[in-house]
């Protein structure tokens, strides 16, 4: 149904599941709710489906906002194709010039919603293959090369980079932007407390 809606440039509505542990300690999917307890209905402008990290996502725009959103396909339920035409992509921040899927996937390695930024990081050259596996070979620049290390600059979603930098903290040091460096430092301090408090 999502593919049909994309082809016909139609809006869709759906409910979106979150996970909970029930009284028998089993994992269950339940629809997200409004404040009054009714299932929340999302009105979405769908543009593309994509796979990232082994999971399928809908690249879209939540009709209430003007930026790009991502929703996991396996958590979408009760889909309806609406009669209304979807919002033109050029009216969505990040899609003004159309959806460049390879660029979009590089900037959204974990499919978080939010702004992308130019991030500078340093790592040993032995880590280069792993870095390219995540960020590809386009839109990356290198500088300050030594025998063992290199500095890279890549445009990426800041929230995604924060999570990625923590995942690879043993191998990578983020150099800029300063706000991101400070967030990562705070995360590492909290992780240290979790294990050594």
**Res. 27: pLDDT tops 90:** no
- Mean pLDDT within 64-74: 90
User: Which pLDDT tens digit goes with each residue over 147-163?
Assistant: 999 999 999 989 999 99
In this structure, are residues 108 and 70 in contact, taking their beta carbons and an 8 Å threshold?
Answer: yes
- Mean pLDDT within 15-27: 82
- Mean pLDDT within 168-197: 94
pLDDT-based confidence at residue 133 (cuts at 50, 70, 90)? confident
Give domain 116-196's CATH number out of 3.40.50, 2.60.40, 3.30.470, 3.30.70: 3.30.70
How far is residue 2's CA from residue 110's CA, in Å, rounded to a whole number? 21
pLDDT score recorded for residue 6: 95
SS (H, E, C) 118-130: EEEEEEEHHHHHH
What residues does each domain of the chain span? 2-99, 116-196
How far is residue 11's CA from residue 78's CA, in Å, rounded to a whole number? 14
Structure tokens at 98: 């159309």
pLDDT, mean over the chain: 90
pLDDT-based confidence at residue 24 (cuts at 50, 70, 90)? confident
pLDDT score recorded for residue 173: 97
Share of the chain above pLDDT 70, in %: 99
Q: What are the Cα distances from residue 177, in Å, to 96, 132, 150, 152, 192?
A: 25, 21, 17, 13, 23
- Mean pLDDT within 89-99: 87
**Res. 54: pLDDT tops 80:** no
**Res. 110: pLDDT tops 80:** no
């Amino acid at each position: 149904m999502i593919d049909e809606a994309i082809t016909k440039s139609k809006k869709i509505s759906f409910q979106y599941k979150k996970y909970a542990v029930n009284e028998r300690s089993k994992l269950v999917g339940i629809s997200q709710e409004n404040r009054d307890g009714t299932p929340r209905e999302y009105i979405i402008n769908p543009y593309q489906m994509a796979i990232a990290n082994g999971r399928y996502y809908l690249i879209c725009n939540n009709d209430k906002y003007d930026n790009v959103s991502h929703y996991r396909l396996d958590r979408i339920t009760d889909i309806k194709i609406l009669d209304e035409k979807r919002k033109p992509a050029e009216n969505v921040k990040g899609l003004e010039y159309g959806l460049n899927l390879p660029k979009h996937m590089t900037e959204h390695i974990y499919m978080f919603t939010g702004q992308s930024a130019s991030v500078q990081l340093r790592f040993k050259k032995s880590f280069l293959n792993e870095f390219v596996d995540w960020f590809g070979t386009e839109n990356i620049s290198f500088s300050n090369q030594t025998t063992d290390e290199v500095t890279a600059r890549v445009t990426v979603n800041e929230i995604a980079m924060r999570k990625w930098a923590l995942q690879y903290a043993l191998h990578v040091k983020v150099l800029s932007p300063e706000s991101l460096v400070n967030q990562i430092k705070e995360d590492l301090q909290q992780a240290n407390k979790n294990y050594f408090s």
